[in-house]
Chains A and B, each alone.
Chain A
Amino acid sequence: MRKILLTAIVMGCVFAPSLQAEDVRVSASLNKRLAQVGEEVRLSIRVTGQSMNLQAPRLSQLDGFETYYTGRASHISVVNGVSSANVEFSYTLIPRRTGRFTLNPIEVQVGQNILKTEPLEIEVSGGAQGQMSGPQSMPQRVATQPSRPSPVAQPVSQDQSSAVPPGTDDNIFVQAWVDRTTLYQNEQMLLTYSLYTRYDTRYEGFDKEPETSGFWIEEFPMDRDVPRETVRMNGKRYVKADVKKLALFPTAPGNYTIQPGSLKVSIREEQQGSNAFDEFFSDSFFTGGAFFARRQNRLLTPPPIQLVVKPLPEKGKPASFQGAVGSFRLSATIDKDKVKQNEPVTLKMVIEGEGNIETITRPKVPALTGFKTYDADTNSKLFQTENVIGGTKSFEVVFIPKEEGNSFVPPLEFSFFDPRQEKYVTLKTPNFPIQVEHSDQNFQMPQELAGNAIFQKQVKSEGKDIRYIDEKLPKAFSTHAVDLIYTILLWGDLVLFVLLVVFWMKDRQDRLFSKDQALRRRKTARRTASINMNKLKKLARSSDDKDTTVFFADLEKAMIQYIADKWNLSAYGVTRQDLAETLTTHFGADSALLKDVLALYRLCDEFRFGKGSIPQASKKIGLKIFQDAVNRIERIRQ
């Protein structure tokens, strides 16, 4: 049966304020996707982006897994003026059950934004659960962050536990305590959670995260076999274990109250009596050996802690001090002591010691006349020992000598405040002599360092004034181009508008005529008559007999066609009698129009039968009668 377990992982990261979330990428990977129960799986969370300071993220408890924070490694490099940082946080996961598990995207807070990794899948097959071989020096159990939404959904729990209100049982309680209540700014303070119990108890992680705003936090490794001891309090014997340790670095002076949050534990329901002490921190404590047992959840809330953070003393503060607090050592090397002019020499400084190593910045490089100076790589590595956070941080600075001769890579100063001695300590790199040989090669910036000079001057405004006059006479075309385009478009639009109106009217008329042929003939009758009139006028001007014959024949046809068009009569089968009746119907038998039309027909007949006896003037008379008839009918029709 396939089981899908969705387990919650939440990471809390604190970034430098200037960090841009869009420049940061977060990814997660597992070193294997198939594992056996009890086999170590390495989870790496890699954060890459521009130079940044990150606190170790804390994963929430993964049901079905034990999780251990195993450390971090960071690398900062500067290429072509752009610094990039790569921080990798490592965790060890030890599966405790078989099945296929999906680790939903891990959320990483970058400034105000939340970035997510890709989801990860892992399949756990059966193994010798009782003979698991966990890491011999488990560094740290990861705390829960229940205040955030769990990115990994959990399947139906097989744990039949039920919550019990806290504070009602003096057989189990937790104490949160610090190793000092007065400390300096950026000095390490240890916050320890000690669990006292008389039950068979399993620590489940934070139910409510401690409120530690104003502090830089690093978590401490916790051995898998948590040291335990039997103590007697108020007449009762308890088993005591330090289940959680955090290193806090206050970022500013002042009075602080730390709310330690709530721890979640589960206890077996059966009373174990004194035997419970023997089982305390047995497999059931971390390994889930009693996973299927009936258990009760308990929330344990220790009281708040008051702290006073003192400012660092101003007296004796060296100029090179940049905020480092702790105890450090400085070592430095150069890669060569004999170079040519304009050839780079790399100075590598390593700062090592106890303190907040991640916040240490590169020692200031003094302004040098004989050198060009460039930033190169920065690396840091953090480690936790016993109750102290420390690490190493290395910086590389490239010096390029400009002049030949014997010279020195100047000493660089690193200062820190030692809270134990309550005084500032200044360390210096040695004064490295170098021999610079003559070279005719001109200075050329190493490509990997281009634009990364430490002492390049910033371009800044020296004063304010108006910008200079424009001495170029603008081209006439450019001045009037818009006017020209505007004018062309204006006239173009006018033409298009007129055309559109014409097309629209014609389209409308065509639609009307297609529906009503009588209307079309009536409306076009005058235009047809005009066309015929023009033809007739041409024929009338000719004295040729043939043209005269055609003239009178066309004149009669034109008259018939006009009247037929006007009253929708057939132009081919219509007779004079039909026309006369139509005109009589509309204008009366005595109308002058009818008489004129009949006179026109007589004139045509006279020519047809008289064969040329008609004088030239009769053509004009015929034309006039036709024109008058058309005009009269048009006026009447209107």
Chain B
Amino acid sequence: MKRFVCFLLITLWLVPVVCAGAETAVIFQEANTSYRTGDHAKAAELYESLIEREPRVATFYYDLANAYVRLGKLSRAILNYEKALRLDPRNGDIRENLRYTRGLLEYRVEDTRNWYLKATEVVLKYATEREVYAVLLAVLFIFLAGGIFYFLNGRGVFWNPWQQFIFIVLLLAALVAFGKEVQSNVIRDAIVMQKECEARYGPSEHDQVAFRMGEGIKVFVMDRREDWSRVLLTNGESGWVKDSDIAEVKG
């Protein structure tokens, strides 16, 4: 009787999971077929529905971005490439297509940041937040386990060279994790979605236009004020744009 109840519970839990997975696979195949046959609009629609179901799968964002490139919607394509890159940062195809798509844009922003900022960005973008935090936790685990071993062993010195080394590694891992946290959640990157976007000196239509930029340009959101966001470009220019003109990558 007990076995039967267990079997029933497991079945009840597994059936929806398996069914959902099978349904996802069917939609994915259909989307791929649409893309292959040139029906990119339908493919994009299907990939969008897959993202609603599984928002943490980089492949869906990448394929959706490809469909948008084919449809000429470059800003949406870049936004989805960026999202895919957040989930799968070491994927060469995503990087290459993102680079290619940026080359199709009307506007280009020169990156005048210091070399160490660029290098830090490149290094931190090589791993996901979870991966960075997992490394930090792994080092912390080793450090704590070393402490417990000391108490269980009952001999030796707690602050021995090994613990000191692990502690230094822990500090470095914490530093990297802090940088990743800042990159992911403090410096929020966004993509300009409008064909032509005006950045102003203040958060209103009355303020003077500071500069104009086109779709697909990557900006960093520094501040929010009602329906306006203050954005910073990689060339150092900053201005206020309407929230509706941009879309945050993490959003």
Contacts and interface: CB of A to CB of B under 8 A. Distances in A.
Interface of A: 464-474, 476, 479, 482-483, 485-486, 489-490, 492-493, 496-497, 499-500, 503-504, 507
Interface stretch (B96-104, B187-195, B214-222, B238-246): B96-104
A466 B66 contact: yes
B151 A486 contact: no
Contact of A485 (B28, B134, B145): B134
A468 B130 CA distance: 27
B140 A472 contact: no
Interface stretch (B57-65, B116-124, B197-205, B223-231): B57-65
Given A493-B137, A496-B144, A469 B66 contact: yes
A469 B140 CA distance: 39
Given A490-B137, A496-B141, A504-B151, A473 B25 contact: yes
B59 A486 contact: no
A500 B147 contact: yes
B100 A492 contact: no
A466 B57 contact: no
A483 B129 CA distance: 10
Contacts of A497: 144
Nearest to B95: A467
Given A470-B93, A473-B59, A479-B57, A493 B66 contact: no
Contacts of B101: 466
B24 interface: yes
Interface in B130-146: 130-131, 133-134, 137-138, 140-141, 144-145
Interface residues of B, number: 36
B32 interface: yes
Contacts of A492: 137, 141
A485 B133 CA distance: 10
Given A470-B63, A473-B25, A482 B131 contact: yes
Given A465-B100, A490-B137, 15 more contacts: A469-B63, A470-B59, A471-B32, A473-B24, A474-B58, A474-B59, A476-B21, A482-B134, A486-B134, A489-B137, A489-B141, A493-B144, A496-B141, A500-B151, A503-B147
A482 B57 contact: no
A319 B101 CA distance: 43
Nearest to A497: B144
Contact of A467 (B56, B67, B97, B152): B97
Q: Shortest 3 CB-CB distances between A and B: which pairs?
A: A489-B137, A496-B144, A503-B151
21 contacts: A464-B100, A466-B69, A466-B100, A468-B66, A469-B35, A470-B59, A470-B93, A474-B59, A479-B57, A486-B137, A489-B137, A489-B138, A489-B141, A492-B137, A493-B141, A496-B141, A496-B145, A496-B148, A499-B148, A500-B147, A507-B151
B93 A483 contact: no
Nearest to B70: A466
Nearest to A491: B137
Contacts of A474: 57-59
A496 to B, nearest CB: 4
B128 interface: yes
Nearest to A506: B151
B16 to A, nearest CB: 14
Listed residue (B57, B67, B131, B151) with the most chain A CB atoms within 10 angstroms of its CB: B151
Nearest to B84: A470
Nearest to A470: B59
A469 B131 contact: no
Contacts of B28: 473
B133 A486 contact: yes
Nearest to B147: A500
Contacts of A500: 144, 147-148, 151
Given A476-B21, A493-B144, A503-B148, A469 B134 contact: no
B224 to A, nearest CB: 30
A486 B128 CA distance: 12
Contacts of A476: 21
Nearest to A498: B144
Contacts of B69: 466
A376 to B, nearest CB: 39
Nearest to A472: B59
A492 B101 CA distance: 43
Contacts of A493: 137, 140-141, 144
Nearest to B66: A469
Contacts of A466: 66, 69, 96-97, 100-101
Listed residue (B21, B32, B96, B152) with the most chain A CB atoms within 10 angstroms of its CB: B32
Contacts of B148: 496, 499-500, 503
A500 B69 CA distance: 54
A479 B53 CA distance: 14
A496 B152 CA distance: 13
Nearest to A502: B151
Contacts of A503: 147-148, 151-152
A467 B128 contact: no
